[in-house]
Structure 1
Amino acid sequence: MSAPTAMKPFFLSAAIVLCAGMAASAQSPQLVDRQAEKNTRQVYQFLLGIENEGKVLIGHQDDLAYGVGWKDVKGGSDVKGVCGDYPAVYGWELGDLEHADAVQNLDTVNFEKMKGWIKDGYKRGGIITLSWHMDNFHTGGSAWDTTAAVRDILPGGPRHDAYKASLDRFADFVGDLKAGGFLKRRNIPILFRPFHEHSGFWFWWGNTHVTPDDYKALWQFTVRYLRDVKGLHNLIYVFNTDENFRTEEDYLRFYPGDEWVDMLTMDSYGSVKDLEGIARLKQKLQLLREMADRKGKPIALAETGYMGIPQPDWWTRVLLQGILPEPGAKSISYVLFWRNANDHHYFGPYPNQVSAADFQAFYRHPVTVFEKEVKPLNRQMRKNRKTAPAGPPLITLRDMSTPTPAGEK
């Protein structure tokens, strides 16, 4: 099936970006890094602004690297193959980067090529998020080796230096992620989601293998090291749990503190298969919404998906119902569905897949935001700047990617 060529109807208002007073939160939003670079602050404000507009950015893991029946094809994307547009959020995985000799991640994506795909997506206006399934520092096993290891890598632990060396490699990787012209190259903003799904038991940093105090100490050390020692000022720190919490107390049990976290997120796979599960998901997202509003932080459904997507209308009948905000209410900033590894392990549509036609309807829905809306959004922002109320300048997606070339108006 060929990808549709018609552009998605442009329903976004000029206020989709955040200007003075737009953030309806209990406190002024502040990043963990008070020295965060301008474009990183702009991405953060944009996420808050998307929520206030009731829109949801749509993301996909490893979208540009491979899909069902292809790998490493220039311009490749299963999402684009179905709807004619790239996702607005790109998820990438750094597992195995902790090893000095690693040239590819645990899913066989070459790290140097990954850098190129990250730059390509960002230059078009996409937002980048990184996860990291680190191997177990105590045993050398995988992230799914649940032997306790967190205390080993805390300051004073026997593997602390090895952990710092891994963070050094992370800093080198992120330091290579730059975009813009020769004279105006800027670091690409990154949503960094370390030690994710910690409320589950399946990773060595999971809640049955580490105490809350040790998890918090690890998170805080990681932030301090990357921010203060390595000087990375383009990171947005994303706190993430599985869907297995029931109360605010459950969710915050391992929370390192407002001054250490920029976003509140959750992952959900088990609750997105039917409408009964979606009702539970909406309750938990509402709980996140209430906490985040008090803290002045955006929220997201950082991972989700229905493997194999056997239901033809799943995108609009099920998933969309879980992310649609109530009338007049704020939305989540983004939802990201997991990777398309092959024809028996995939979470996104691909051409001729049974849910592909429904995904096109999902794409056309006015709440969902994909990458192609960057240019019309730019035009509308430019048109409305002269009539914008006094306050900080409007932030466009273009401002978050490449600088305006000299002489361009």
Structure 2
Amino acid sequence: MRPLCFLFLCLLGLSAPLALVAGPPKPRPINPHATPEARRLLAYLYGLRGKHTLSGMHNVLGLMSATTDSVQRLTGEYPAIWGGDFGFADSTHDIDNIKYRPLLVAEIKKQHQRGAIIVLSYHQANPALGEPTPFEGGILSKLTDAQWQELLTPGTPLYQKWAAQMDLLAGYLQQLQAARIPIIFRPYHEMNGGWFWWGGRPGPQGAAALWNQLYKYYTQHHHLNNILWAWTPDKPTPGVETFFPGRDKVDLLGTDIYPRKDSAAAVYPQRWYAAMQQLAGGKPLGLSEQSVLPTPAQLAQQPYVWFMSWGKMLFNANSAAEIKRVYADPRVLNAGDVTKGLK
């Protein structure tokens, strides 16, 4: 706002609107040492806000790119985002078997070379139990309040177990950094729910403290600078803000939205998008997990910067025609569009 305009408003007894004074947020990573590749990706995502939505597909560790390839066979387009996970299980739950981790870096390099943006999730095993672990009773488990405090206290046995798990993952992320591949990392997702061991703990000493602990450990101890940090709660029901570490602690925001059980309510209420937009404060906002695809009309009303379908759920929750229609929508960008846009 020009000084004379501001003076005129003051004379009238009016305040200058905050948005005009502060200006829109700039694509500045929270990590001051972020790699050029991470900075370029973040700037690209900022440029999509309100205009375009990146298509995305999650792939389970044991099947690598099977669901991404299924989308390409159906639509003729590769999704713009390739999603993956580090796994947690053994052969009893082979699709998330940690024995496949050594194959992950090569697959990510292949997908990145093809033009995909990489999003990595992590269903971390409860540090008190270790890995491999089952989903029920391992990922879906609890820590006592005393264990939670121990986890957040450097030097304690439980902290050391947690750090050993994160050291293991850091080795893979360091290989990707050496290959100059930026990663959108979404640890401790759906923390506003009570199902995962890291979830259901609001406030500054809750899930937000664990988020901050991991950020500090990865940036200061492991010097991982190729990461964009994506905070992705479950559907933004009231109270979601009490789990938020703050805009200065996240690069991106997202929300995981699945149809509510035993309910005929709309899958994507406009109020949820508005709530997440308010938290984001101008930072890129994604639909970080979903089964039912938002329609082109819904994406026009709720212009998420990306969506990521959760594996085979895409094909169970949508018809082939519905999937094709979304992937062909002019608002939706696929892998070929990203290759052009990031040049």
Q: Could you say which TM-score interval applies, normalised by the shorter chain?
A: 0.7 to 0.9
Distance 1:30 1:303 in 2: 25
Distance 2:153 2:240 in 1: 26
Distance 2:311 2:99 in 1: 12
SS at match of 1:359: helix
Residues 25 and 120 of structure 1, relative CA distance in 2, 3 Å threshold? farther
Distance 1:85 1:64 in 2: 22
Structure with higher RCO (Cα < 8 A, 6+ apart): 1
After superposition, residues 56-95 of structure 1 pair within 5 angstroms as 56-62=53-59, 66=63, 77-95=69-87
CA contact (8 A) 1:59 1:336 kept: yes
Q: Does 1:187 align with 2:180?
A: yes
1:128 corresponds to which residue? 118
2:143 corresponds to which residue? 147
1:323 corresponds to which residue? 299
1:270 corresponds to which residue? 259
After superposition, residues 235-384 of structure 1 pair within 5 angstroms as 235-246=227-238, 250-270=239-259, 276-280=265-269, 282-292=270-280, 294=281, 296-306=282-292, 315=293, 319-325=295-301, 331-340=303-312, 347-349=313-315, 355-374=319-338, 378=340
Residues 42 and 63 of structure 1, relative CA distance in 2, 3 Å threshold? farther
Query: Structure 1 residue 202: deviation in Å?
Result: 0.5
Would you say how many aligned residue pairs link Structure 1 and Structure 2? 310
Q: Deviations over 1:326-351 (max 9, x none)?
A: 7xxxx2110001012xxxxxx1239x
After superposition, residues 25-64 of structure 1 pair within 5 angstroms as 26-52=24-50, 54-62=51-59
CA contact (8 A) 1:65 1:117 kept: no
Query: Structure 1 residue 154: deviation in Å?
Result: 1.5
2:241 corresponds to which letter in structure 1? L
Distance 2:188 2:52 in 1: 27
Residues 45 and 109 of structure 1, relative CA distance in 2, 3 Å threshold? farther
Query: Structure 1 residue 108: deviation in Å?
Result: 6.4
TM-score, L = length of structure 2 = 0.80
1:205 corresponds to which letter in structure 2? W
Q: Would you tell me which structure has more helix in proportion to its own residues?
A: 2
Query: Structure 1 residue 127: deviation in Å?
Result: 0.8
CA contact (8 A) 1:33 1:227 kept: yes
Instruction: In structure 2, list runs of 5 or more residues that go unmatched.
Output: 1-21, 131-136
Moved over 4 A (4+): 271-276
Distance 1:259 1:354 in 2: 37
CA contact (8 A) 1:115 1:176 kept: yes
Q: Does 1:219 align with 2:207?
A: no
Distance 1:76 1:366 in 2: 20
CA contact (8 A) 1:51 1:332 kept: yes
2:79 corresponds to which letter in structure 1? P
Query: Structure 1 residue 229: deviation in Å?
Result: 1.1
2:12 corresponds to which residue? none
